[in-house]
Chain A
Amino acid sequence: KAGVTQTPRYLIKTRGQQVTLSCSPISGHRSVSWYQQTPGQGLQFLFEYFSETQRNKGNFPGRFSGRQFSNSRSEMNVSTLELGDSALYLCASSSTRGGTEAFFGQGTRLTVV
């Protein structure tokens, strides 16, 4: 079974631009969650999608948004990028809700210059 696939692996963007990250979950998994990982703040929850609906949202500004498609693939968008958005963005997929058995992808390393 293929794991969680995130694309692209690396991105360099300029402050003020927007970016879209993609996540393909494990086949059969309907829950996709996104996390931001930084040295200072650690791993922080962004949002969760289940059956194409956002079910849970972390404490991030509205510049961070996402969506999920009917095939469970998910995208995350960050608009008006700030230097502080530089981070590793991780996607986790799970067959159920509740954070159980969540499997992470390798992440997208976003650098904002």
Chain B
Amino acid sequence: QQQVKQSPQSLIVQKGGISIINCAYENTAFDYFPWYQQFPGKGPALLIAIRPDVSEKKEGRFTISFNKSAKQFSLHIMDSQPGDSATYFCAASGNSGSRLTFGEGTQLTVNP
């Protein structure tokens, strides 16, 4: 019940295209859903996060869509750029303290 399932495992997109990564969770106690971006040799960097009281949050080219009834959330990267090529992780946390439960990760490649 603590798992967060992420798909796809890998994604190849052309420059200027839209990248979409999906996550699903089971634990209804989760109330915070961040996305992290990780480049090789670096730690994960917080990109954007959402709470269940809103269905969408947008920051620049990054948008989180949240479907509470389906227990799913997704990251949309608009106008994808080669510099966006990285591994993306969704995560969730709830009322158990600073424990982030991570998805398996999606390796995004944006071709020029």
Contacts and interface: CB of A to CB of B under 8 A. Distances in A.
Interface of A: 4, 6, 31, 33, 35, 42-45, 48, 50, 55-56, 58, 90, 92, 94, 97-107
Interface stretch (B15-23, B60-68, B71-79, B97-105): B97-105
Contacts of A106: 41-43
Interface in B23-48: 32, 34, 36, 41-46
B96 interface: yes
B3 to A, nearest CB: 11
A106 B39 CA distance: 10
What size tier do the contact residues of chain B reach? Answer: 20 to 34
A1 to B, nearest CB: 14
B44 A94 contact: no
A-side interface mostly: strand
Contacts of A58: 99
B98 A99 contact: yes
B100 A42 contact: no
12 contacts: A4-B43, A42-B102, A42-B105, A92-B100, A97-B98, A98-B94, A98-B97, A99-B97, A100-B49, A102-B100, A104-B46, A107-B43
Contact of A90 (B43, B91, B94, B98): B43
Given A99-B32, A100-B93, A48 B104 contact: no
A56 B102 contact: no
Nearest to A91: B43
